[in-house]
Structure 1
Amino acid sequence: MNVKIKDVAIRAGVSTTTVSRVLNGEKYVKEELKKRVNDAIEELGYAPSHIARSLVRNKTDLIGVIVPDLTSSFYATILSSIEQTATSNGYNLLVCNINEDIDKELKYLNIFKEMRVEGIIIMHEKINEEIRGFINSLQIPVIFSSVKPMDQSFISVIVDDYTAAYDATRYLIELGHERIGFIGGDMRDITSGQNRYVGYCNALRDHGLKIIHERIRFGDYKVKSGYERMGELLRYEQWPTAVFAVSDDMAIGAVNCIIDHGMRVPEDISVMGFDGSQMTELVRPRITSMEQPIHHMGVVTVETLLQLIRGEFEQDEDIILGHRLEVRDSCRQRLM
Structure 2
Amino acid sequence: MTVTIYDVAREAGVSMATVSRVVNNNPNVKPQTRKKVFEAIERLGYRPNAVARGLASKKTTTVGVVIPDISNAIFAEVARGIEDIANMYHYNIILCNADKKKEKEIRVINTLLEKQVDGLLFMGGAVTDEHLQAFKSANVPIVLCATTDENGAIPSVDIDHEAAAFDAVQTLIKNGHRSIAMIGGTLQDPANGYARFQGYKRALEANGLPYDENMVRIGNYRYESGVDAMKYFLELPSRPTAVFSATDEMAIGAIHSIQDAGLKVPNDISVISVDNSRMASMVRPQLTAVAQPMYDIGAVSMRLLTKLMKKETVDNPKVVLPYEIVTRQSVGSI
Distance 1:131 1:289 in 2: 31
Q: Give the CA deviation at 1:52.
A: 2.2
Q: Give the CA deviation at 1:315.
A: 3.7
Asked if the contact 1:65–1:95 (Cα under 8 Å) also holds between the matched residues in 2, the reply is: yes
Q: Which residue of 2 aligns with 1:87?
A: 87
Q: Which residue of 2 aligns with 1:240?
A: 240
Q: Which residue of 2 aligns with 1:147?
A: 147
Q: Give the CA deviation at 1:317.
A: 4.8
Distance 1:285 1:310 in 2: 48
Asked if the contact 1:276–1:294 (Cα under 8 Å) also holds between the matched residues in 2, the reply is: no
Q: Give the CA deviation at 1:178.
A: 0.9
Q: Give the CA deviation at 1:101.
A: 2.5
Classify the secondary structure of the residue corresponding to 2:156. strand
Q: Give the CA deviation at 1:122.
A: 0.8
Q: Give the CA deviation at 1:322.
A: 1.4
Q: Normalising by structure 2, report the TM-score.
A: 0.95
Classify the secondary structure of the residue corresponding to 2:150. coil
Q: Which residue of 2 aligns with 1:199?
A: 199
Asked if the contact 1:72–1:249 (Cα under 8 Å) also holds between the matched residues in 2, the reply is: no
User: 1:184 and 2:184 equivalent?
Assistant: yes
Distance 2:312 2:194 in 1: 33
Asked if the contact 1:304–1:313 (Cα under 8 Å) also holds between the matched residues in 2, the reply is: no
Q: Give the CA deviation at 1:107.
A: 2.7
User: 1:32 and 2:32 equivalent?
Assistant: yes
Asked if the contact 2:152–2:318 (Cα under 8 Å) also holds between the matched residues in 1, the reply is: no
Q: Give the CA deviation at 1:228.
A: 1.3
The alpha-carbon distance between structure 1 residues 316 and 35, as it changes in their structure 2 partners (threshold 3 A), is: closer
Classify the secondary structure of the residue corresponding to 1:126. coil
Distance 1:317 1:115 in 2: 25
> Equivalent pairs: percent with the same residue?
37
User: In the TM superposition, what are the counterparts of 1:1-336 in structure 2 within 5 Å?
Assistant: 1-315=1-315, 317-334=317-334
Asked if the contact 1:73–1:249 (Cα under 8 Å) also holds between the matched residues in 2, the reply is: no
Q: Give the CA deviation at 1:167.
A: 1.1
Q: Give the CA deviation at 1:11.
A: 2.0
Asked if the contact 2:82–2:301 (Cα under 8 Å) also holds between the matched residues in 1, the reply is: yes
Q: Normalising by structure 1, report the TM-score.
A: 0.94
Distance 1:313 1:253 in 2: 45
Distance 1:221 1:134 in 2: 27
Distance 1:298 1:322 in 2: 14
**Range 71-80 or range 240-249, more displaced:** 71-80
Residues 13-60 of structure 1: CA distance to partner in whole angstroms, max 9, x if unpaired? 222111111111111112332233222222222111222233334332
Distance 1:69 1:252 in 2: 18
**Which runs of 5 or more structure 2 residues have no equivalent in the other structure?**
none
Asked if the contact 2:100–2:125 (Cα under 8 Å) also holds between the matched residues in 1, the reply is: no
Asked if the contact 1:85–1:299 (Cα under 8 Å) also holds between the matched residues in 2, the reply is: yes
Q: Give the CA deviation at 1:316.
A: 5.5
Classify the secondary structure of the residue corresponding to 1:27. coil
Root-mean-square deviation (Å)? 1.6
**Which runs of 5 or more structure 1 residues have no equivalent in the other structure?**
none
Asked if the contact 1:77–1:278 (Cα under 8 Å) also holds between the matched residues in 2, the reply is: no
Residues 161-203 of structure 1: CA distance to partner in whole angstroms, max 9, x if unpaired? 1111111111101101111110011100122211111111121
Distance 2:318 2:42 in 1: 49
Q: Give the CA deviation at 1:223.
A: 1.3
Residues 80-109 of structure 1: CA distance to partner in whole angstroms, max 9, x if unpaired? 122122212222211111012223223322
Distance 2:147 2:236 in 1: 34
Distance 1:195 1:310 in 2: 33
Distance 1:112 1:229 in 2: 38
